[in-house]
Amino acid sequence: MAMMRLRREDPRVVGTFRLHRRLGAGGMGVVYLGSDKRGQRVALKVIRPDLAEDQEFRSRFAREVSAARRIRGGCTARLVAADLDADRPWFATQYVPGPSLHDKVNEEGPLSPAQVASVGAALSEGLLAVHDAGVVHRDLKPSNILLSPKGPRIIDFGIAWATGASTLTHVGTAVGSPGFLAPEQVRGAAVTPATDIFALGATLAYACTADSPFGQGSSEVMLYRVVHEEAQLAGVPDALAPLLASCLAKDPADRPSTLSLSLRLKEIAAREAHGPSGGLLENGGGAGAGWERRPSDRPTGQRAEEYARQRTERGTAGASAPRPHPSRPPAPRNARPSGPASAAGRNPRRPGGRTARRVPGAGPPGRSGTRTPVRTTSGGRRPGPDRRLLRQRVIVFVVVTLLVALGIAAAQGCQGPTTHGLGVRQSAPDTSASASAVGMPYGVGEQTP
**Residue 352's closest CA among 396, 395, 382?**
382
Other beta carbons less than 10 A from residue 324's beta carbon: 10
Neighbours of 19 (CB within 10 A): 19
Which one-letter DSSP state was computed for residue 297? Answer: -
Distance CA 256, CA 129 (A): 16
Q: Does residue 15 contact residue 83 with C-beta atoms inside 8 Å?
A: yes
CA neighbor of 209 nearest in space, from 100, 108, 300, 304: 300
| Residue 45 identity (one-letter amino acid) | K
Find residue 154's DSSP bridge partners: 76, 145
Give the 3-state secondary structure of residue 73. coil
Cα end-to-end span (Å), the chain = 108
- What stretch of H or E contains 342? helix 340-345
Q: Which of 139, 156, 196, 297 is catalytic?
A: 139
Residue 288 CA to residue 180 CA, distance in Å, equals 22
Give the H/E segment covering residue 13. Answer: strand 13-14
Q: Is the dihedral of CA 275, 280, 282, 288 positive or negative?
A: positive
Cα distances from 297 to residues 116, 166, 205, 408, in angstroms, run 12, 46, 17, 84
139 is catalytic: yes
Alpha helices in 234-303, H assignment, sequence order: 241-247, 258-273
Q: Is 85 exposed, middle or buried (0-12, 13-18, 19+ CB in 10 A)?
A: exposed
Which residues carry out catalysis? 139
